[in-house]
Structures are given as C-alpha cells and as structure tokens.
Structure 1
Amino acid sequence: MKLKTAFCFVIASNFSFAAVPEDSNPVKVIINNWTSQAVLANIYGRLINSMGYKVEYAPVKSSAQWLKLKTGEVDVQVEVWEGTMSEKFNKLVGGNQALDAGTHDAKTREDWWYPEYVEEQCPGLPDWQALNKCASLFAGGKTKNKGRYVAGPWEKPDRARIRALGMNFVVDKVKKGDDLWVALKKAAEKKQPIVLFNWTPNWVEAKYKGKFVEFPEYAPECEKKSAWGVNPNFTFDCGNPKGGWLKKMTSVKMKSKWPCAYKLVNNFNFSNEMIAEVAAWVDVDNMSHNEAADKWIKQYEEKWKTWIPQECTA
C-alpha cells in the first residue's frame, strides 16, 4: 500500500530534512490484525513518509512476524506486548537478530476478562478458582458442560494454562479480533455470563465495566520450568504479567540503513489513554485505520513534532 502524496505534503510542509532518506529502499512497516497496532503503524508510516522515506505496509500475522524481522523481510513493529510476546522478543534482541527500539509509556495487561455483572452470578470473582467452580455458567455452543472461553485469533497459551490449572474450560477461538466485541455486546445485552480475551489499553474499558481474572502471579519461570508454580508437572500455571511493557522493535538493518527513521521510532511514544482513544475511533466510531491515523496526526501535531529527531532536520 502506498501513502497519498497530498497527505504527506500536508504534514511535511513545516519541515525540511537533511540527507533523508539515507537509503532509497522502502521501510517495511508491520500491520497486525488488531486495531491499535494497525492505527499506530499507519501513524508511524505517515510520519517517516513525510520525512522523505518510502513506506510499504506489510500485513503479517503476529506468529509470523518474528522470522520476517529476523531475516529483514520487514523492518518495524510498533506494538510488542510483554504478556504474550516477550519470549520471542527477548530471543531475537538477545541474539542480535533484531533491535529493541524503546518502550511506550503505556502499561499493558492482556488476559481473561469478564463484564462486571458476571460477579453477581459467580461469587468469588475475579479469583480464577471461583471462575472454575462456575464453569458450567459459561457453557455454550459445543462446550457441553464445560465453560467457554472466547479467545482472540492470536497465538496464546490458553490451552496450556487450562491444562496446567485443571480448569473445566475449552477455548473457542474467533476468526478475527472484532468478533470478540460482537460476542461481548451480544452477551452484555442479555446479561449473559461471558469470559473472553481482553487487553489494556483498549477502547472496551471506556464502554464496559469489567475485570481481569486473577490467576496465580506471573513470573518468567512459569513459562519455562514445570517445577515452578502451583502445578509441578506443567508450565503456564500462571496469569500474564500485570503492568507489562509495550515495546517497539526493528530489523537489525534499520538503524544503519535508515538512521532518522530508526530514531523516530525510538521517540514514537503512546500512553494508555492515547492508544485507547485511537482504538475507539475505529471500534466505536467506525473509522478506518487510515482515517484514524489521519485524524490523530492532524489533532496532535504538537505531540508528534517532538518525535522528529532534531539532527535529521535541515
């Protein structure tokens, strides 16, 4: 996909840039299949395009992006979540196969979540053991008497957790992220019990009151050492990190091939509130990812101008 030249002129008109681009090849920006990542990727792409860089957006599944970053087939990822991506991230960065491009101000959490009204039907929540005792309340579809956990389309260790904690639940994986909110809306309208994958920052917290399920506390050993935790026989007998980091990463070549674009991604920095806002423009106000990116750039010019590296301007 190419950016519109007219748009680029609008946001670039107040700047002139020295020796940019350093390389004429396009910077390939990853687009994943969840709203905030797609909007932030479009914002970043527009900003470096305004500096003179060619940009290509690369739709990539989160499970496939690691190899593509390692080989340099893609160059920039603007949202790396600690809760489910830290192992792959640390492996690539620790092996000098990708670059840590800095941390957003936003603090993350992604885990099982339920709307607040469910507490009236399942006493003891948000404790995971209380949830398990109420598993039959969440039965639906082909789950028979087992509880239904509505999972996103992304690769998560939910089945491993269910096994490790002996939970009477099955995973019902939706085809696309927006299907989570369809299921939530349908259940909420009738006050039906539902537990589903959710995360923060996310627009959902502004519309629905709810809580994350409290599993045993996370530690890195939970993912690697079966002897650690409440079940000595299996890994993943814990929840995801709370107050986790949200990082950016790039291919190894990014720093030397496009130094100014690399410095901008380091400066590129969103808070929880900022991410929730742009996600709401899409998931509540029905904007496209491109429209939301356009709106953010026009509305927050003072913010993004501080991200432009001074040494890259003429």
Structure 2
Amino acid sequence: MKKHPLNRRIQLTGLALATGAALTAGAAQAQDKGSVHLAYVEWASEVASTNVVRAVLEQAGYEVDLTSLSAAAMWQSVATGDADAIVAAWLPTTHADYMERVGDEVVNLGVNLDGTRLGLVVPAYSDVDSIAELDEHADAFNGKITGIDPGAGIMGLTEEVVETYELEEMEVQSGSGATMTAALESAIQNEEQIVVTGWTPHWMFARWDLKYLDDPENVYGGAEQIHTIARQGLEEDMPEAYAILDAFEWTPEQMGEVMLMNQADDADPYENAKQWVEENQDLVQEWLPES
C-alpha cells in the first residue's frame, strides 16, 4: 500500500531530527574531550604528518588547532605549554640544539618515523652509484649538482662533499626546492642524467624511481628519526589524546603518499590528510586506544 505523503514527511522529519541529534552529540563529545593544540614547521613532511595526526585526533572526538612556527618557536611552544605536542622533532642531529635547551621541560614520546636521510640523489637508471664516481662522469651531469636554497643545511654539506671527494669537475648550483624537483622531472622525462640534493622523507621518492649515491666518507651523516614531543602534563590532562600521539608511527613511504597528494594544484593538506586517514583505517586503528 502506498504511504500517505504526510506520513512520509513525518518520517523524514524524524530522520532529520535523529541525524541532527547525533551530530550534536558528536560535537558535544568533542567539546567534552577538549582541544588539542599542535605546532609544526612549514616543511612538506611536517605539514603532511601534522595534518594526518589532526585528522586522527578529530576522528577520536577532539577539536584540533594547528599553528605554523619556526623550528625554534615550535619547540619553545611545547616547553611553555602553549602547544600540546609536535610530531616534527628531527633527532638526534637536526634539532639537537633545541632538545638540549628544552629537553628537561618536554616529554619525548619517541620515534614516529624512522629512516630520514640526506644525500645526493640520481634517477635509478643512472649507472653512477657513488659520489666518488661523479667527477669521471661530470660531462653526463653537465658538471653540476642541482641544489636548493643556498642557506639550507644540506647545501653546506654538499659544498663539503665537493671538497672531501675532490670533485673538481662538479659545481653546486643553488635554487629552491621547487626548481630542483622541476629540473629532476625534466631530466627523467628525457631520460637524462641529473644529480640533485635530496632527503627522505620527500614526495619525489613516491613519484619517481630514484636512488641515493653511496657516501663512503659519510659526509652527510647517518639516518635520523622524527620524534613526537609533548608538553608536560598532557598525559594527565588528556590521556586518550596522549595515547594517540604516543602510538602514532608510520613509514617514509606512507608519508610520501600524503606529501605527493599535497603537490597537486590547489591541494588542501587537511582535506588530503582526512582522505588518507579514511583510506588507511587499518593503520589508524593501531593508533587509536581500544574502546
């Protein structure tokens, strides 16, 4: 029997009220759980990780605020309690000074990403495998190492590489991260040789088949890790949020997926993070406390 239109309207109204009540309850739950304040530095890797953590905390019912700061200010904000946590601490080398200054005032929750690295990178099809071989193949590389901003730490190390390996036929060319990846893309499209300053995690490893050149003199140093740092008292104030931050851990490949999504035109890192979290619920559930 066909339902009367009035009954249909009553049913739809009831559904709308029920849905609205559920959304209101969810908002109240988030408000009850409180707001988590995350600080970060504007590096592609940290934009990716911080937004993913934001999406996960929101899934757990928290409100989340993000603040972009310089590296020094980011660390200081956690030490003073202005921020609840960061997932952007490069240790033991890159952020060693900050850790030395405020280490006693923060809580180190440990590694959230293992396998960071600096070095010279070439397309996987290149026959060159070591920095020590560059000079003899200088013509193939047009005598240049394509770098990034002249003030970046990796650029100073690359100048040291040129001296240490006595690369008399190679010159370091500065630019920016964008010009470096553009040059890399052009060379790969034409199957040409190119050597660039590179680091992991970076989205270029998700887009192209690349390899690091061996560094037998270890000028670039060993691998680092990215740590999660929380303010003192967070565990007592918001134990569930603290547990999520403590459990958060992923791989350079997973981070690279999000970083690559963020390279699209008009990309929204927050929306991309929410999409990635939705598509990787098996991993996300490992970060969430058991209910």
**1:269-308 to 2 correspondences below 5 Å:** 269-283=249-263, 287-308=267-288
Deviation string 1:42-88 (CA, Å, 9 cap, x unpaired) is 12113323445442211234465334444444442224344862524
Quote the Cα distance in structure 1 between the aligned partners of 2:209 and 2:158.
25
Instruction: Encode CA deviations 1:254-310: one digit per residue, 9 max, x unaligned.
Output: 444443322211111212332232223333697421221121222223432332234
Residue pair 2:119, 2:212 contacting (<8 A) in 1 also: yes
Structure 2 counterpart SS, 1:151: coil
Q: CA 1:215–1:183 in 2, change beyond 3 Å: closer, same or farther? A: same
Shift of residue 19 of structure 1?
6.6
Identify the residue that residue 99 of structure 1 maps to in structure 2: 107
> 1:185 and 1:98, CA in 2 relative to 1: closer, same or farther beyond 3 A?
same
Of residues 125, 130, 149, the one that matches 1:127 is 130
For residue 200 of structure 1, what is the aligned residue in structure 2? 200
**TM-score, normalisation: structure 1:** 0.67
Evaluate the alpha carbon distance shift between residue 62 and residue 17 of structure 1 in structure 2; reply closer, same or farther with a 3 A threshold.
Answer: closer
Question: Does the C-alpha gap of structure 1 residues 92 and 214 become closer, same or farther in structure 2, counting only changes over 3 Å?
Answer: farther
Provide Cα deviations, 1:179-233, integer angstroms capped at 9, x if missing partner.
4322211222234432223233444334422221222354xxxxxxxxxxxxxxx
Letter in 2 for 1:20: K
2:68 to 30, 41, 59: 59
Distance 1:181 1:214, change over 3 A: same
Residues in 2 aligned to 1:86 and 1:135: alpha-carbon distance in whole angstroms: 34
Q: Structure 1 or 2: larger helix share?
A: 2
* Number of aligned residues: 264
Displacement after TM superposition at 1:172 (Å): 0.6
Contact 1:31 1:57 survives alignment (8 Å): no
Q: What SS class does the counterpart of residue 243 from structure 2 fall into?
A: helix
> Counterparts of 1:208 and 1:189 in 2: how far apart (Å)?
10
Distance change (3 Å), C-alpha of 1:161 and 1:281: closer
TM-score, with structure 2 as normaliser: 0.72
1:300 alignment partner AA = N
Tell me which residue corresponds to 2:211.
Answer: 211
Structure 1 gaps, min length 5: 1-8, 120-124, 140-145, 219-237
Identity of aligned residues (%): 21
Pair member with larger Rg: 2
Matched residue, 1:169:
171
**Deviation digits for residues 94-120 of structure 1, max 9, x if unmatched?**
x3133212223643323221113443x
Question: Is the contact made by 1:28 and 1:55 (CA closer than 8 Å) also made in structure 2?
Answer: yes
Question: Which residue type is aligned with residue 47 of structure 1?
Answer: V
Residue 171 of structure 2 aligns with an amino acid whose one-letter code is F
Q: Counterpart of 2:33 in structure 1: which amino acid?
A: V
Q: Aligned with 2:94: secondary structure?
A: helix
Whether 1:37 and 2:46 are equivalent positions in the alignment is: yes
Q: Which residue matches 2:222?
A: 241
Rounded Cα–Cα distance in structure 2 between residues aligned with 1:294 and 1:31: 20
Query: Which residue number corresponds to residue 19 of structure 2?
Result: none
- Matched residue of 2:174: which SS? strand
* Aligned positions of 1:63-142 closer than 5 A: 65-82=74-91, 85=94, 87-88=96-97, 90-92=99-101, 95-104=103-112, 106-119=114-127, 125-135=128-138, 138=141
Alpha-carbon distance in structure 1 between the residues aligned to 2:246 and 2:78: 17
State whether structure 2 residue 57 is matched by structure 1 residue 48: yes
- Label 1:250 to 1:307 Cα distance change in 2 as closer, same or farther (>3 A): same
> Secondary structure in 2 aligned to 1:96?
helix
- Alpha carbons of structure 1 residues 137 and 151: separation in structure 2 relative to 1, 3 Å: farther
